[in-house]
Amino acid sequence: MAKPTLKAVLLSPQRPLGGHPLLVLGPSLGTSTVLWNEAASILGKDFDVVAWDLPGHGVSPAVTEGFDIAGLADAVVELVDSIAPGEAFHYAGVSLGGATGLQLGIKHGERLKSLSVLCTGAKLGTPDGWLERAETVRKQGTPVMIQGSAERWFAPGFMDREPERSSRLLHALRDADRFSYAFCCEALAEYDVRAELGSISVPTQAVAGALDGVAPPSLVQEIADGITAGGGTASAVTLEGVAHLAPAEAPAHVAELLRGLMAWAEARGAAK
């Protein structure tokens, strides 16, 4: 499996990095760093906020061969090392970005200060479903996914209330490289870390949208239960009125949750 190259966007104010704790944000399939704009603007005064894009999405280059989600986690660490070599960081990711976060906790836990995974699971969907989607998008392109994604991503009424925000996210899907999107689907087809959750020791919160049909609250509870069963510290939270893209739908609430966990983790680290 290849390790993809990831690119990132700075979402906090321009200033020398290192004066504030580093927060790295991961995307949902078909989105870009736009997903995190509002939440990052709330957190940017107190954290250096960097968001990465999936292969072939946003600013990240397309890929021509397959990768797995453990490889995405390796690529995130490589990206962080290009920005702040060896630095420990807070991480938050949505859906596929959240799956990458769990892999970071399993494989690179020593680099994490805290872990927030949103609208995700230790396993997502079915292999056949992901492989079918990969084949469809390879043949027809990412625009074929727009209608279904709009229905999955947003709670009823959100697109009417926030037309600009939802439009920007759907444009990111339209503009994504079809082959890279398909490789992401194939990575999700193989993904299942349920048996490895107990190895995550970094403080973790798992956040669900009550209206999320992709990663319902039961999957988020499974993450928290799996981590605590192994002796780790984890909690599960459900956001009412939210579907699959919590940072876009409820940015202030998500920012508050992230800030609370990160502040606790920073204080815990300082006390050691």
pLDDT digits (tens, 9 = 90+) for 84-106: 999 999 999 999 999 999 999 99
Please give the angle made by the CA atoms of 162, 49 and 167, to the nearest 5 degrees.
20
* Residue whose entry in the numeric block shows the structure tokens 């927060």: 23
The pLDDT value recorded for residue 270 is 63
Mean pLDDT for the stretch of residues 5-16: 93
Burial of 160: CB neighbours in 10 Å, binned 0-12, 13-18, 19+ = exposed
User: Which residue type is seen at 207?
Assistant: V
Specify the pLDDT at position 150.
Answer: 95
Percent of the chain whose pLDDT exceeds 90: 94
List the structure tokens of 110.
């020593």
pLDDT given for residue 15 in this prediction: 86
Position 236 confidence tier, pLDDT thresholds 50, 70, 90: very high
User: Structure pTM?
Assistant: 0.97
Q: Which candidate, 71, 64, 62, 50, places its Cα nearest to that of 188?
A: 71
Q: Which residue has the tokens 């490789």?
A: 183
Model confidence over 237-263: pLDDT tens digits?
999 999 999 999 999 999 999 999 999
Fold of the domain spanning 8-271: Rossmann fold (3.40.50)
Q: Are 58 and 172 in contact (CB under 8 A)?
A: yes
pLDDT tens-digit map of 166-194: 999 999 999 999 999 999 999 999 999 99
SS3 32: coil
Which residue is associated with the tokens 């970071």? 104
**Exposed e or buried b per residue across 125-153, where buried means at least 16 C-beta atoms within 10 angstroms of its C-beta:** eeeeebbebbeebeeeebeebeeebbebb
Is 22 in contact with 90 (CB distance < 8 Å)?
A: yes
